[in-house]
Amino acid sequence: MRSSLSAFVVILLSCAAPRQAAPVSPAPPRDFRACGEVAGRSGEAAPARSKVVVLWQVSTGTEELYTFKFGEAPVEDGRFCITLGPPPKEALNGGHFGIALLELGDALAEVPDGRLTEKVMKRLASLGSAENYVLMYVGPELGPGHGWLDRFPVGYGCAFVDRSQPSIDQQVPMPTSCDSLSITLHDPEKVQPTNWL
């Protein structure tokens, strides 16, 4: 699972050429809420005992990548809602922006907030993921000139990539509603990372 996440982040962090900055809000919100549903590719129901964990993918500016867990929520009747305050600096790239995957795991697996080891990652035993969605966080000090990040306002947001686009150049992250995210049940070995170029 770790190798798939690392490859995903390397692709994701390869930003396009700078774009004109979108209007930004004056300050990040104190709290953020994201909700969605969990289901199998063929409509299978979510496991009765499961939870969604928020895994922030962080690059140190060198070849080192790490996963930082900050946030989780139980799955009830196939749905989840996550509430987050401002993320720790250690969960952000350069302390300025964050990109988080949503993973589905066993509700009894204890995964503390913080930088995760390989042992803890295996304990999570991923049951599914939001393959087409990520959570975003843009700090107020980042400023414009950072490619597709300029599409997002200061604070939290959600990004979506439409896999139906015929060209990889068109598969760029776009702001989307944080009220209708989707996590798909899957075999961890069959994760389909999205091209974020």
> Could you report the per-residue pLDDT of 88-110, keeping only the tens digit for each?
999 999 888 999 999 999 999 88
Residue 196 inside a domain? The answer is no
Residues whose CB is less than 8 angstroms from the CB of residue 155 and which lie 6 or more positions away in sequence, other chains included: 25, 27, 28, 29, 32, 137, 138
Residue 44: what pLDDT?
Answer: 84
**174 pLDDT higher than 90:** no
Judged on CB neighbours under 10 Å (0-12, 13-18, 19+), 89 is exposed
Segment 125-154, tens digit of pLDDT: 788 888 889 899 999 888 788 777 888 889
At 13, the pLDDT band (50, 70, 90 cuts) reads: very low
Whether the CB-CB separation of 131 and 104 falls below 8 Å is answered with no
Residue 167 inside a domain? The answer is yes
Look up residue 191 and give its amino acid.
V
Residue 22 inside a domain? The answer is yes
Q: Using DSSP, state whether 130 is helix, strand or coil.
A: coil
Residue 23 inside a domain? The answer is yes
Alpha-carbon distance of 35 to 179, in angstroms, equals: 5
Residue 7: what pLDDT?
Answer: 42
At 121, the pLDDT band (50, 70, 90 cuts) reads: confident
Residue 34 inside a domain? The answer is yes
Residue 134 inside a domain? The answer is yes
Cα-based torsion angle of the residue sequence 5, 142, 91, 106 in order, rounded to the nearest 10 degrees: -60
**Which of these, 32, 132, 124, 36, lies nearest to 75 by C-alpha position?**
36
Residue 197 inside a domain? The answer is no
Percent of the chain at pLDDT above 70?
73
At 36, the pLDDT band (50, 70, 90 cuts) reads: very high
Residue 63: what pLDDT?
Answer: 62
Domains: count for the chain: 1
Residue 82 inside a domain? The answer is yes
Which of 2-6, 69-73, 95-99, 186-190: highest mean pLDDT?
A: 69-73
Domain of residue 107 covers 2-190
**2 pLDDT higher than 80:** no
At 3, the pLDDT band (50, 70, 90 cuts) reads: very low
**21 pLDDT higher than 70:** no
Q: Please give the average per-residue pLDDT across 144-171, as a whole number.
A: 76
**112 pLDDT higher than 50:** yes
Look up residue 139 and give its amino acid.
G
